[in-house]
Amino acid sequence: MTDRSADTALLDAARALDEADPLAAHLDAFVEAPGVTAYLDGNSLGRPLRDVPEKLAAFVREDWGTRLIRSWDEQWMALPMELGDRIGAVTLGAGPGQTVVSDSTSVLIYKLMRGALRHAQGPSGAAQGPTGRTELVIEEGNFPTDRFLAEGVAAEMGATLRWITPDPVHGVTIDDVAAVVSGRTALVSLSHVDYRSGALADMPGITAVVHEAGALMMWDLCHSAGVVPMQLDDWGVDMAVGCTYKYLNGGPGSPAFAYLRHDLQGLLRQPIQGWWSAADIFAMGPEYVPADGIRQLLSGTPPVTSMLAMQGMIDLIEQSGIDGVRAKSESLTALAVRAYDELLAPLDVRLLSPRDPARRGGHITIGHPDFREVTRRLWADGVIPDFRFPDGIRLGLSPLSTSHAETVAGVLAVRDALESGVS
């Protein structure tokens, strides 16, 4: 008979942690998914809050349906900046007037990346501008959007790409960055949390090294905003972009946010000069004059409807405190690693994330040659992690919507699928 004592011990430990969890009451705030026993993909798409359907309905009935176009003047015009300030205050350590919600992650990265290179080239726009800074530094394993955009912007601006090749599990280090930056570096663009391994970069340390070289620093916060505390202002970060459909639970396609430090506003000129970034939106003047402040990062009409769902999650994070969210995140990933050690390591599964909870974000990644088929089986059985090429499963543990028991149940399901064999 198979000894399942390890299963019992893990489940008992998970229940004890859930009973002691100060954030456990928030689990009921999220919509139930019939047929799903373990949702382990909150780092790709956060679950909706229960009150979202009524909030959307009320918006249609009242703000849109009753107030009609009057709602632009009454509340919508300022929403990108007001919501940006809330995200900045609750999750980013950013003071007001530096964060705006608008566009997709890709569009905002493009705006800031191209603006930074143009600034480095100087007013002439020549590739060999007065600063001599013609290099854009990025990590070769970064998320495809970041890399593809860097390649495109470099080609547009006549810049040179410099690639960092970090350890695939532990991610980019200060030494990695120090080895590649120089007086030719215009911009360094990195992810705070590696989308594959979950490795957490040393944001203040790396930013300081980049500044010592005289370059600008941009961070992709897609896998850290809402789950990892940060202090963008205190750490001197120049610019950052993040999405809102992961740990901010804004729903599929919800708009991204951009952070641009106060003293860079007006110096970095973004390239998509739409009417919403004009100094006087309704002047309809003959030439473009950019707005003062963070509104200059806007382009077209903001996606107001898509900004609704995330607002309740920002409230929930504020109530919980980002440090409390981080503490539970570390507890969840630590339990997942313990379950991996006891249940999956004996089956030749590899741990593809840092072991130290302080060195990773809100997910861990495990690897095995059979994981593509395992993932297909798990999804059919109501256990939802995600698969990452070539052979990784990510266990994304969103702290406010995921329990310790759910985490262990997911790892048990991975074990059972492997032991049952794949075909």
Could you list the active site residues?
143, 220, 245-246, 394
Tell the residue number behind the tokens 């382009």, with chain if given.
299
Tell the residue number behind the tokens 């992650």, with chain if given.
105
* End-to-end alpha carbon distance in the chain: 25
Taking the C-alpha atoms of residue 324 and residue 316, their distance in angstroms, rounded to an integer, is 11
Sign of the CA dihedral with 385 first, then 363, 83, and 273 last: negative
Alpha helices (H) along 172-230: 174-178, 203-212
For residue 4, the tally of other CB atoms under 10 A from its CB is 11
| Bridge partners, 258 (sequence order) | 100, 241
Under DSSP, the state recorded for 273 is -
Contact 177, 137 (CB under 8 A): yes
Q: Exposure string (b/e) for 162-177, b if CB count within 10 Å is 16 or more? A: bebebeebbbbbbebb
Taking the C-alpha atoms of residue 331 and residue 20, their distance in angstroms, rounded to an integer, is 11
Tokens matching residue 319: 């109530």
Tokens matching residue 104: 């997709």
Backbone angles phi, psi at 241, to 5 degrees: -135, 145
Strand 99-101 to 160-164 pairing: unpaired
Backbone angles phi, psi at 303, to 5 degrees: -80, 80
Backbone angles phi, psi at 273, to 5 degrees: -85, 70
Contact 147, 136 (CB under 8 A): no
Q: Is 176 strand, coil or helix?
A: helix
- The number of CA neighbours under 13 Å toward the Cβ of 15 is 6
Tokens matching residue 329: 């995140």
For residue 136, the tally of other CB atoms under 10 A from its CB is 25
Backbone angles phi, psi at 347, to 5 degrees: -100, 20
For residue 261, the tally of other CB atoms under 10 A from its CB is 20
